[in-house]
Amino acid sequence: MTTDTEETLNGIIHDLEQRLEIALLSANQVWWEWDIPTGILKTHAIKDCILGYDLTKIRHHLDFWMDALPPEEREPVWKSLQEHLNGKTDKWVMEHQYRDPNGEYKWVLEAGKVVSHNPDGSPLRMVGITQNIHEKKLHEQEIREKNKELAAALKLKDVVLATASHDMLNTLNSGWGFAKSLKTESIGQTQEFQLIEESLNQSVKLISSIHELAKGTLAEAKAYKTDPATLIHESRNFHAPTAKSKGLELLVESKEGYVMMTDGLALRRILDNLVGNAIKFTSAGHVSILDLSTETEFIVEVSDSGCGIPPEQAHLLFTPFKKLSSKKDGSGLGMSICKTLAKKLSGTLSYRPNTPSGSIFRLTIPREA
């Protein structure tokens, strides 16, 4: 090869290296090559290294960069590097820190690979890149801290909500009892006291639901022998006066003579919520409770001929505090609590539209806990 040809090739190589360095620096990266037997590690960049070192003044040796590691990271970095040199990994990739010229540690991402070996198979040369990810790591740390603050705030919210709802519940229960006593003793104001009693009753139900939700007491489900037919008829009898006052048929088809292992109180709450909701949103026609249980599962469907649920709102059905109708009373917690209770009973609660109108809710629970 002539001298002119060699100079030309060297010029081309130099030009390509500069282009590579420009491209890498635009991504906040530099590339390096390490002569493993001698320890010489040359960093290539058209300006100062991304950590701020003057490349004309530093020692281009592995020892320089090992010394720049935080003391607690030197062993894990060296161990990871040795695993690659010994052929245990296809490439070396690691996030760690380097000390900058000002003595501050900065996060970097390094990736490299052995590209040539000695005749005896030992590693000879390794090349790689170093990327400054310090801002990214700071941002991740900031997110973690904010998540911790958010978790603490949510926990505090639950404590405050549980405490406040407990105190409000005590006050409302006292007021409710007082209103009932006055209604009994009053003459000529029965209707007014009836309105007060109903208002306080609704408030007690709302605060009770909020209190349970805040304290997480819905998680306490205990399995014992339960007669589902009895629960179905009890729920039917409880809601019968309301259904009758609206001129609705309240129909029941239950299967007698079997028991199941579940939390009867939780199951009754689900039934009461489903039946009560069905009556609330049905102005004419019927509400049905249908037992479709099998040998392994308790299955009950509560259906109605009411107004139904708009398809675009169906996904909000089990969301806490989401009321699908502003014209009806309630807190928007009932269906959410039912869903949670069903889950605690290892069951499911689903919805589908009824034909030609109305809703069908299907509760499925294992008969053996």
The CATH number given to 220-366 is 3.30.565.10
Higher pLDDT residue, 74 or 185?
A: 74
Residue range 74-97, pLDDT digits in tens: 999 999 999 999 999 999 999 999
Residue range 317-368, pLDDT digits in tens: 877 656 655 455 545 567 888 888 899 899 999 999 988 889 999 999 999 8
pLDDT at 248 over 90: yes
pLDDT at 48 over 60: no
Instruction: Measure Cα distances from 323 to 36, 45, 212, 320 in Å.
Output: 69, 62, 19, 9
For residues 97-125, give the mean pLDDT: 93
Class of domain 3-132: alpha beta
Question: Of 279, 264, 253, which Cα lies nearest the Cα of 231?
Answer: 264
Q: Per-residue b/e over 238-247, b at no fewer than 16 CB within 10 Å?
A: ebeeebeeee
pTM: 0.47
